[in-house]
Structure 1
Amino acid sequence: MSNINDEHKIQLIVTGGTIDSFYDTDQCTTVCHDETAIPDFLAKFANITADEYELFEACMKDSREISNEDIQEVSNAIINSKSSRHIVTHGTFTLFESARTLMAMLPDNHGQVIVFTGAMWPLVGFSPNDAGFNLGSAFVAARLATPGVYIAFNGKLYLPTDQEGLH
Protein backbone atom coordinates (compact mmCIF):
# COMPACT_ATOMS: atom_id res chain seq x y z
CA MET A 1 0.00 0.00 0.00
CA SER A 2 1.32 3.41 -0.89
CA ASN A 3 0.19 6.91 -0.14
CA ILE A 4 -1.99 5.90 2.77
CA ASN A 5 -3.99 8.76 4.23
CA ASP A 6 -2.82 9.67 7.77
CA GLU A 7 -6.17 8.72 9.28
CA HIS A 8 -5.80 5.19 7.87
CA LYS A 9 -2.28 4.71 9.15
CA ILE A 10 -1.69 2.77 12.30
CA GLN A 11 0.19 4.68 14.94
CA LEU A 12 2.96 2.46 16.31
CA ILE A 13 4.02 3.57 19.79
CA VAL A 14 7.09 1.83 21.20
CA THR A 15 7.98 1.75 24.89
CA GLY A 16 10.70 -0.90 24.94
CA GLY A 17 10.23 -4.23 26.67
CA THR A 18 11.63 -7.60 25.68
CA ILE A 19 10.11 -7.36 22.20
CA ASP A 20 12.50 -4.49 21.47
CA SER A 21 15.56 -5.80 23.36
CA PHE A 22 18.74 -7.79 22.89
CA TYR A 23 20.34 -10.38 25.13
CA ASP A 24 23.26 -8.94 27.08
CA THR A 25 25.58 -11.82 28.01
CA ASP A 26 27.41 -9.71 30.61
CA GLN A 27 24.19 -8.98 32.49
CA CYS A 28 22.57 -12.37 31.68
CA THR A 29 19.32 -10.64 30.73
CA THR A 30 17.61 -8.74 27.96
CA VAL A 31 18.29 -5.02 27.62
CA CYS A 32 16.28 -2.56 25.55
CA HIS A 33 17.85 -1.27 22.36
CA ASP A 34 18.77 2.43 22.31
CA GLU A 35 16.40 2.81 19.35
CA THR A 36 13.57 0.56 18.25
CA ALA A 37 14.34 -2.35 15.90
CA ILE A 38 10.69 -2.79 14.94
CA PRO A 39 10.55 -0.68 11.73
CA ASP A 40 13.45 -2.62 10.23
CA PHE A 41 11.76 -5.92 11.10
CA LEU A 42 8.42 -4.77 9.63
CA ALA A 43 10.04 -3.76 6.34
CA LYS A 44 12.21 -6.89 6.00
CA PHE A 45 9.90 -9.62 7.21
CA ALA A 46 6.30 -8.38 7.25
CA ASN A 47 6.22 -6.22 4.11
CA ILE A 48 4.76 -3.39 6.20
CA THR A 49 6.32 -0.20 4.94
CA ALA A 50 6.87 3.08 6.77
CA ASP A 51 4.02 4.73 4.83
CA GLU A 52 1.56 2.34 6.52
CA TYR A 53 2.26 3.48 10.06
CA GLU A 54 3.28 6.50 12.09
CA LEU A 55 6.12 5.75 14.54
CA PHE A 56 6.25 7.33 17.98
CA GLU A 57 9.01 6.27 20.37
CA ALA A 58 7.70 7.08 23.86
CA CYS A 59 10.61 5.43 25.68
CA MET A 60 12.81 2.35 25.61
CA LYS A 61 12.39 0.79 29.04
CA ASP A 62 11.88 -2.49 30.82
CA SER A 63 8.17 -2.47 31.65
CA ARG A 64 8.97 -2.57 35.37
CA GLU A 65 10.42 0.94 34.89
CA ILE A 66 7.42 2.35 32.98
CA SER A 67 5.88 5.23 34.94
CA ASN A 68 2.48 6.90 34.84
CA GLU A 69 4.26 9.80 33.10
CA ASP A 70 5.36 7.39 30.34
CA ILE A 71 1.78 6.16 29.93
CA GLN A 72 0.61 9.78 29.90
CA GLU A 73 3.03 10.37 27.02
CA VAL A 74 1.48 7.38 25.22
CA SER A 75 -1.97 8.85 25.87
CA ASN A 76 -0.90 12.26 24.53
CA ALA A 77 0.56 10.63 21.42
CA ILE A 78 -2.75 8.85 20.78
CA ILE A 79 -4.81 11.99 21.35
CA ASN A 80 -2.55 14.09 19.10
CA SER A 81 -2.36 11.53 16.29
CA LYS A 82 -4.52 11.76 13.16
CA SER A 83 -4.82 7.98 13.30
CA SER A 84 -7.65 6.21 15.10
CA ARG A 85 -5.79 2.89 15.27
CA HIS A 86 -2.76 2.37 17.50
CA ILE A 87 -0.34 -0.37 18.54
CA VAL A 88 1.67 -0.01 21.75
CA THR A 89 4.66 -2.32 22.12
CA HIS A 90 5.37 -2.94 25.78
CA GLY A 91 7.13 -5.31 28.16
CA THR A 92 5.07 -8.14 29.57
CA PHE A 93 5.68 -7.59 33.30
CA THR A 94 3.30 -4.60 33.52
CA LEU A 95 1.50 -4.82 30.17
CA PHE A 96 -2.00 -5.27 31.62
CA GLU A 97 -1.40 -2.64 34.30
CA SER A 98 -0.28 -0.06 31.71
CA ALA A 99 -3.26 -0.87 29.48
CA ARG A 100 -5.62 -0.32 32.43
CA THR A 101 -3.82 2.93 33.32
CA LEU A 102 -4.19 4.17 29.74
CA MET A 103 -7.88 3.21 29.74
CA ALA A 104 -8.40 5.38 32.84
CA MET A 105 -6.63 8.33 31.18
CA LEU A 106 -8.76 8.30 28.03
CA PRO A 107 -12.35 9.55 27.84
CA ASP A 108 -14.97 6.76 27.75
CA ASN A 109 -15.96 7.49 24.16
CA HIS A 110 -12.45 8.00 22.78
CA GLY A 111 -13.27 6.17 19.51
CA GLN A 112 -9.74 4.74 19.24
CA VAL A 113 -8.56 1.17 18.69
CA ILE A 114 -5.53 0.64 20.93
CA VAL A 115 -3.73 -2.69 20.92
CA PHE A 116 -0.90 -3.44 23.33
CA THR A 117 1.51 -6.25 22.52
CA GLY A 118 4.83 -7.59 23.70
CA ALA A 119 6.88 -10.77 23.68
CA MET A 120 8.60 -13.28 25.88
CA TRP A 121 11.66 -13.28 23.54
CA PRO A 122 13.29 -10.40 21.64
CA LEU A 123 12.21 -9.69 18.07
CA VAL A 124 15.82 -9.68 16.85
CA GLY A 125 18.45 -12.31 17.62
CA PHE A 126 16.19 -15.16 18.78
CA SER A 127 14.68 -17.68 16.42
CA PRO A 128 12.12 -18.98 16.70
CA ASN A 129 10.38 -16.42 18.88
CA ASP A 130 6.91 -15.11 19.62
CA ALA A 131 7.67 -11.44 18.90
CA GLY A 132 6.94 -11.33 15.17
CA PHE A 133 3.76 -13.37 15.60
CA ASN A 134 2.52 -11.10 18.40
CA LEU A 135 3.38 -7.96 16.43
CA GLY A 136 1.55 -9.32 13.36
CA SER A 137 -1.44 -10.23 15.52
CA ALA A 138 -1.47 -6.66 16.87
CA PHE A 139 -1.55 -5.23 13.33
CA VAL A 140 -4.50 -7.46 12.41
CA ALA A 141 -6.33 -6.55 15.63
CA ALA A 142 -5.64 -2.83 15.15
CA ARG A 143 -7.07 -3.01 11.63
CA LEU A 144 -10.19 -5.02 12.51
CA ALA A 145 -11.20 -4.38 16.12
CA THR A 146 -13.90 -1.99 17.22
CA PRO A 147 -12.84 0.99 19.38
CA GLY A 148 -11.40 -0.05 22.72
CA VAL A 149 -8.19 -1.06 24.46
CA TYR A 150 -6.91 -4.59 23.86
CA ILE A 151 -3.88 -6.82 24.35
CA ALA A 152 -2.81 -9.07 21.45
CA PHE A 153 -0.66 -11.96 22.61
CA ASN A 154 -0.14 -15.55 21.42
CA GLY A 155 -2.90 -15.28 18.82
CA LYS A 156 -5.48 -14.16 21.37
CA LEU A 157 -7.07 -10.80 22.04
CA TYR A 158 -7.50 -9.87 25.70
CA LEU A 159 -9.16 -7.00 27.49
CA PRO A 160 -6.99 -5.17 30.04
CA THR A 161 -9.50 -6.17 32.73
CA ASP A 162 -9.10 -9.90 32.04
CA GLN A 163 -8.19 -11.45 35.40
CA GLU A 164 -6.14 -14.31 34.01
CA GLY A 165 -3.97 -12.11 31.83
CA LEU A 166 -1.36 -14.06 29.88
CA HIS A 167 -1.30 -17.08 32.21
Structure 2
Amino acid sequence: MSNLNSEHKIQLVVTGGTIDSFYDTDKCTTVCHDETAIPDFLAKFAGITEQECELFSACMKDSREITDEDIQAVSNAIINSNCSRHIVTHGTFTLFDSARKLMAMLPEEHGQTIVFTGAMWPLVGFSPNDAGFNLGSAFVAARLAAPGIYIAFNGKLYLPTDQEGLH
Protein backbone atom coordinates (compact mmCIF):
# COMPACT_ATOMS: atom_id res chain seq x y z
CA MET A 1 0.00 0.00 0.00
CA SER A 2 1.75 3.10 -1.17
CA ASN A 3 0.82 6.73 -1.64
CA LEU A 4 -2.04 6.66 0.83
CA ASN A 5 -3.78 9.97 1.33
CA SER A 6 -4.73 11.32 4.75
CA GLU A 7 -8.17 9.70 4.46
CA HIS A 8 -6.50 6.29 4.77
CA LYS A 9 -3.53 7.32 6.89
CA ILE A 10 -3.68 6.47 10.58
CA GLN A 11 -2.47 8.92 13.19
CA LEU A 12 -0.46 7.24 15.94
CA VAL A 13 -0.60 9.21 19.19
CA VAL A 14 1.88 7.93 21.77
CA THR A 15 1.63 8.62 25.49
CA GLY A 16 4.13 6.10 26.89
CA GLY A 17 3.00 3.23 29.10
CA THR A 18 4.47 -0.25 29.35
CA ILE A 19 4.04 -0.82 25.61
CA ASP A 20 6.69 1.87 24.99
CA SER A 21 8.99 1.07 27.95
CA PHE A 22 12.05 -0.94 28.92
CA TYR A 23 12.72 -2.95 32.04
CA ASP A 24 15.00 -1.09 34.46
CA THR A 25 16.72 -3.73 36.61
CA ASP A 26 17.86 -1.15 39.16
CA LYS A 27 14.28 0.04 39.74
CA CYS A 28 12.74 -3.45 39.26
CA THR A 29 10.05 -1.98 37.00
CA THR A 30 9.40 -0.72 33.50
CA VAL A 31 10.36 2.83 32.58
CA CYS A 32 9.18 4.72 29.49
CA HIS A 33 11.68 5.29 26.71
CA ASP A 34 12.68 8.92 26.14
CA GLU A 35 11.34 8.58 22.59
CA THR A 36 8.86 6.08 21.21
CA ALA A 37 10.13 2.79 19.78
CA ILE A 38 6.83 2.03 18.03
CA PRO A 39 7.45 3.52 14.53
CA ASP A 40 10.69 1.51 14.17
CA PHE A 41 8.87 -1.65 15.27
CA LEU A 42 6.01 -1.01 12.83
CA ALA A 43 8.38 -0.41 9.91
CA LYS A 44 10.56 -3.44 10.70
CA PHE A 45 7.93 -6.03 11.58
CA ALA A 46 4.69 -4.84 9.98
CA GLY A 47 5.88 -2.87 6.96
CA ILE A 48 3.93 0.17 8.19
CA THR A 49 5.83 3.30 7.21
CA GLU A 50 5.37 7.03 7.76
CA GLN A 51 3.43 7.13 4.46
CA GLU A 52 0.72 5.09 6.23
CA CYS A 53 1.12 6.37 9.76
CA GLU A 54 1.41 9.93 11.10
CA LEU A 55 3.19 10.14 14.48
CA PHE A 56 2.31 12.52 17.30
CA SER A 57 4.10 12.17 20.63
CA ALA A 58 1.85 13.60 23.35
CA CYS A 59 4.06 12.44 26.22
CA MET A 60 6.09 9.47 27.45
CA LYS A 61 4.64 8.66 30.87
CA ASP A 62 3.44 5.85 33.07
CA SER A 63 -0.34 6.08 32.74
CA ARG A 64 -0.68 6.82 36.46
CA GLU A 65 1.18 10.10 35.75
CA ILE A 66 -0.96 11.19 32.78
CA THR A 67 -2.78 14.44 33.46
CA ASP A 68 -5.90 16.04 32.05
CA GLU A 69 -3.54 18.35 30.12
CA ASP A 70 -1.93 15.29 28.50
CA ILE A 71 -5.35 13.99 27.42
CA GLN A 72 -6.16 17.48 26.13
CA ALA A 73 -2.97 17.28 24.04
CA VAL A 74 -4.21 13.94 22.66
CA SER A 75 -7.58 15.51 21.88
CA ASN A 76 -5.95 18.51 20.17
CA ALA A 77 -3.71 16.22 18.10
CA ILE A 78 -6.74 14.26 16.91
CA ILE A 79 -8.80 17.37 16.16
CA ASN A 80 -5.92 19.05 14.28
CA SER A 81 -4.97 15.95 12.27
CA ASN A 82 -6.07 15.41 8.69
CA CYS A 83 -6.51 11.74 9.58
CA SER A 84 -9.91 10.35 10.52
CA ARG A 85 -8.46 7.20 12.11
CA HIS A 86 -6.24 7.26 15.20
CA ILE A 87 -4.44 4.88 17.53
CA VAL A 88 -3.49 6.05 21.02
CA THR A 89 -0.87 3.97 22.79
CA HIS A 90 -1.30 4.19 26.54
CA GLY A 91 -0.45 2.50 29.81
CA THR A 92 -2.96 -0.01 31.13
CA PHE A 93 -3.52 1.39 34.63
CA THR A 94 -5.66 4.32 33.43
CA LEU A 95 -6.41 3.25 29.86
CA PHE A 96 -10.21 3.23 30.25
CA ASP A 97 -10.19 6.43 32.33
CA SER A 98 -8.27 8.31 29.63
CA ALA A 99 -10.54 6.96 26.89
CA ARG A 100 -13.59 8.19 28.84
CA LYS A 101 -11.96 11.59 29.41
CA LEU A 102 -11.23 11.89 25.70
CA MET A 103 -14.83 10.89 24.92
CA ALA A 104 -16.04 13.77 27.14
CA MET A 105 -13.67 16.26 25.45
CA LEU A 106 -14.65 15.51 21.86
CA PRO A 107 -17.96 16.56 20.33
CA GLU A 108 -20.44 13.67 20.26
CA GLU A 109 -20.41 13.58 16.45
CA HIS A 110 -16.63 13.90 16.07
CA GLY A 111 -16.56 11.46 13.13
CA GLN A 112 -13.21 9.99 14.17
CA THR A 113 -12.29 6.35 14.78
CA ILE A 114 -10.03 6.31 17.84
CA VAL A 115 -8.52 3.12 19.22
CA PHE A 116 -6.58 3.02 22.48
CA THR A 117 -4.19 0.15 23.11
CA GLY A 118 -1.42 -0.81 25.48
CA ALA A 119 0.37 -3.89 26.76
CA MET A 120 1.29 -5.78 29.86
CA TRP A 121 4.88 -6.22 28.61
CA PRO A 122 7.13 -3.82 26.66
CA LEU A 123 7.15 -3.97 22.86
CA VAL A 124 10.94 -4.09 22.72
CA GLY A 125 13.13 -6.43 24.76
CA PHE A 126 10.49 -8.96 25.83
CA SER A 127 9.66 -11.96 23.72
CA PRO A 128 7.07 -13.26 23.53
CA ASN A 129 4.86 -10.37 24.56
CA ASP A 130 1.38 -9.02 23.97
CA ALA A 131 2.49 -5.61 22.68
CA GLY A 132 2.84 -6.40 18.97
CA PHE A 133 -0.41 -8.35 18.95
CA ASN A 134 -2.29 -5.52 20.67
CA LEU A 135 -0.77 -2.93 18.36
CA GLY A 136 -1.74 -5.01 15.31
CA SER A 137 -5.26 -5.43 16.69
CA ALA A 138 -5.48 -1.66 17.12
CA PHE A 139 -4.50 -1.11 13.48
CA VAL A 140 -7.17 -3.54 12.26
CA ALA A 141 -9.77 -1.91 14.52
CA ALA A 142 -8.77 1.60 13.42
CA ARG A 143 -9.10 0.59 9.77
CA LEU A 144 -12.43 -1.22 10.10
CA ALA A 145 -14.42 0.15 13.04
CA ALA A 146 -17.11 2.78 12.69
CA PRO A 147 -16.38 6.24 14.12
CA GLY A 148 -16.16 6.09 17.90
CA ILE A 149 -13.70 5.46 20.70
CA TYR A 150 -12.53 1.92 21.42
CA ILE A 151 -9.91 -0.04 23.35
CA ALA A 152 -8.17 -2.91 21.52
CA PHE A 153 -6.59 -5.39 23.92
CA ASN A 154 -5.89 -9.13 23.79
CA GLY A 155 -7.85 -9.60 20.56
CA LYS A 156 -10.98 -7.92 21.93
CA LEU A 157 -12.51 -4.54 21.23
CA TYR A 158 -14.00 -2.70 24.20
CA LEU A 159 -15.91 0.52 24.61
CA PRO A 160 -14.58 3.00 27.19
CA THR A 161 -17.81 2.54 29.14
CA ASP A 162 -17.42 -1.25 29.46
CA GLN A 163 -17.59 -2.02 33.18
CA GLU A 164 -15.37 -5.11 33.07
CA GLY A 165 -12.48 -3.30 31.43
CA LEU A 166 -9.52 -5.61 30.95
CA HIS A 167 -10.44 -7.96 33.82
- Equivalent-residue separation in structure 1 for 2:111 and 2:53 (angstroms): 18
Offset, 1:7: 2.2
**1:130 paired residue number:** 130
For 1:76, the aligned partner's letter is N
**2:105 paired residue number:** 105
SS in 2 for 1:150: strand
For 1:118, the aligned partner's letter is G
Report the more deviating stretch, 47-56 or 9-18: 47-56
Q: Does 1:17 align with 2:45?
A: no
**TM-score, normalised by the number of residues in structure 2:** 0.99
Encode CA deviations 1:8-60: one digit per residue, 9 max, x unaligned.
10000000000000000000000000000000100111111111010000000
SS in 1 for 2:124: coil
- Show the 5 A alignment for 1:30-69: 30-69=30-69
SS in 1 for 2:58: strand
**2:81 paired residue number:** 81
For 1:77, the aligned partner's letter is A
**1:152 paired residue number:** 152
Encode CA deviations 1:73-107: one digit per residue, 9 max, x unaligned.
00000000000000000000000000000000000
Q: RMSD value over aligned CA atoms?
A: 0.5
SS in 2 for 1:54: strand
Q: How many residues align?
A: 167
For 2:30, the aligned partner's letter is T
Q: Which runs of 5+ in 1 are unaligned?
A: none
Offset, 1:117: 0.0
Report the more deviating stretch, 1-10 or 123-132: 1-10
> Which contiguous aligned blocks of 4+ residues in structure 1 show a shift greater than 4 angstroms?
none
Q: Does 1:140 align with 2:136?
A: no
Identity %: 87
- Equivalent-residue separation in structure 1 for 2:110 and 2:104 (angstroms): 11
SS in 2 for 1:48: coil
